């Protein structure tokens, strides 16, 4: 079993829909990262969380440390949100290494 | 502009022909890392470096070498490439001067798509 599991693997939705992508992990962590990989391949960091919730524009990330679970929400989704969304965690006893999820491929149709 | 620059973007080569993928960052970051990305497997770390002259193996180091002679550069070397090294490669960097910086964001290069025939 992978230490970081993302669901769903693939998600197709209509423009305007509310999107939720989930990340569950099995290790104690010091932080959780959400990243976005554009269709052209480039990867950008979206959020880094150790507790609670963060918001940036239409993106919201939440984390529940007790349940070892994080969600990434997109409100009023748009075709330009189409990308692969990747979750990664840093273990609490890790020197610096991230454990990566396999990613969720999101397609937003106009 | 703050960035991580990888070159080349695309590379097609033959088995056994040594190659180097360059990575340079202009943010004075201590931490640099190489990843490969394969369909269905996500990102896997090849090597990382905490600072100049300090490098360590990641999860999939076999067949790769790195060096960190200067803070800004972290080249990835394939001494004798094989077809199973066909992949999309990413270099990343992050500020990591103290423990509290370990959770600073990663900055990625644009990727290098390598094909070994």
DSSP A37-91: E-TTS-EEEEEEESSEEEEETTEEEEEETTTTEEEEEESS--GGG-EEEEEEEEE
Residues of chain A contacting B58 with CB distance shorter than 8 Å: 97
Contacts of B10 (CB under 8 A, 6+ apart): B112, B113
pLDDT score recorded for residue A15: 98
CA A60 to chain centroid, in Å, comes to 10
A88 vs B57: CA distance, rounded Å: 19
pLDDT band, residue B23 (cuts 50/70/90): very high
Give the pLDDT band (50/70/90) at residue B104. Answer: confident
Per the CB < 8 Å rule, is B108 touching A90?
no
Asked whether residue A95 carries a pLDDT value surpassing 80, the answer given is no
Please state the rounded mean pLDDT for residues B73-92.
97
CA atoms within 13 A on the CB side of A57: 7
Structure tokens that stand for A10 in this block? 């693939």
pLDDT digits (tens, 9 = 90+) for A8-26: 999 999 999 999 999 999 9
Q: Beta A19-25 vs A69-74: how paired, if at all?
A: antiparallel
Number of A to B CB contacts under 8 A, please give it. 48
Q: Is the pLDDT of residue B98 over 60?
A: no
| Mean pLDDT, residues B94-100 taken together | 62
Report CA torsion sign: B59, A36, B49, B3. positive
Bridge partner list, A60: A55, A73
Query: Which one, of A39, A33, A32, A8, lies nearest residue A21 by Cα?
Result: A8
Write down the pLDDT at residue A94.
59
Distance (Å, rounded) from C-alpha B24 to C-alpha B21? Answer: 10
Which chain A positions have a beta carbon within 8 Å of B107's beta carbon? 45
CA torsion angle B85 A27 A86 B35 (round to 10) = -30
pLDDT value of position B40: 79
Contact A33 B111 (CB under 8 A): no
Tokens of A20: 């939720």
């Amino acid at each position: 079993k992978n230490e970081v599991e993302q669901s769903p693997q693939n998600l197709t939705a209509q423009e305007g829909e509310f999107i939720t992508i989930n990340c569950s992990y099995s290790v104690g962590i010091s932080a959780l990262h959400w990243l976005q990989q554009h269709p052209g391949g480039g990867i950008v960091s979206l959020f880094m969380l150790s507790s609670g919730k963060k918001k940036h524009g239409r993106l919201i990330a939440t984390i529940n440390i007790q349940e070892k679970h994080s969600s990434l929400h997109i409100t009023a989704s748009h075709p330009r949100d189409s990308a692969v969304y990747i979750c990664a965690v840093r273990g609490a006893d890790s020197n610096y290494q991230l454990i990566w999820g396999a990613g969720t491929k999101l397609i937003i149709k106009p | 502009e703050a960035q991580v620059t990888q070159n080349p973007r695309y590379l097609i080569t033959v088995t056994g022909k040594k190659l180097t993928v360059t990575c340079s960052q202009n943010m004075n970051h201590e931490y640099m890392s190489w990843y490969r990305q394969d369909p269905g497997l996500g990102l896997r770390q090849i090597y990382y470096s905490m600072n100049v002259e300090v490098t360590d193996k990641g999860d999939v180091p076999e067949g790769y070498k790195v060096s960190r002679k200067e803070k800004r550069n972290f080249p990835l070397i394939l001494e004798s490439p094989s077809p199973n090294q066909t992949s999309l490669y990413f270099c990343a960097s992050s500020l990591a001067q103290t423990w509290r910086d370990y959770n600073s964001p990663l900055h990625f290069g644009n990727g290098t798509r390598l094909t070994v025939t």
